[in-house]
Amino acid sequence: MKINSAKFVISNTDVGKCPNEPYPEYAFIGRSNVGKSSLINMLTGHKNLAKTSGKPGKTQLINHFLINDNWYLVDLPGYGYAKVSKDKRKTFQKFIKDYFNKRMQLACTFVLIDSRHEPQKIDLEFMEYLGENGIPFCIVFTKTDKLGKTGLEKNLTHYKKVMLESWEEMPTTFLTSSVDSSGKKEILSFIGQVNLSLKQE
């Protein structure tokens, strides 16, 4: 699938104000500073569609972008560390959960994981929450260009081992880099296939 158009539609913290169209939605979420905005910009081919920042916790709203006039890319706030107050963080958690619990249009969630790090408790718990609530998700390993092939394989093998301690099988996984655009074709192809299968239902 090729992205021909990508436009910002709305930002808010109220799930009830999200777009009404029955278009499928693909949510992108991860710990703060995982490279989410860079990945979204890489996927869409728009340099500044999602705001990138060296400061963790930049995204603080549910951001809807309409892609090709037939599906939504949803940029969600990062979870975990962010330079915001505890009260604000609690609000994030509430409207993030509201989004996942109430948004019928959600087709798949892409959980972003920094490929350089050990499995983090907060990521594992978040994926557990998605699994327990029957929310389909994929894992997107980011920043793979920052590791050599051997280091990347070692980290991924370890991650798989940890995941399989509580999961029967690994979810669909993508390896990405916003620097060399690796993973772009695979993710867009996956979204195209899901969109097609939803149309046939």
Q: Which pLDDT value is given to residue 111? A: 97
Buried b (16+ CB within 10 A) or exposed e, 141-153: bbbbeebeeeebe
Q: Calculate the alpha carbon distances from 14 to 50, 58, 91, 92 in Å.
A: 19, 18, 11, 11
Burial class (CB in 10 A: 0-12, 13-18, 19+), 60: middle
DSSP class of residue 56 equals T
Spatial distance between the Cα atoms of 180 and 92, rounded to a whole number of angstroms: 31
Mean pLDDT by 10 residues, the chain (201 residues): 92 90 95 90 86 52 93 87 56 79 95 95 91 95 94 95 94 96 97 93 72
For tokens 């655009």, the residue is 181
pTM of the model: 0.90
Which residue ranges form the domains of the chain, and what is each CATH number?
Answer: 6-200 (3.40.50.300)
Q: Which pLDDT value is given to residue 173? A: 97
Give the HSE-up count for residue 105: Cα atoms under 13 Å, Cβ half-sphere.
Answer: 19
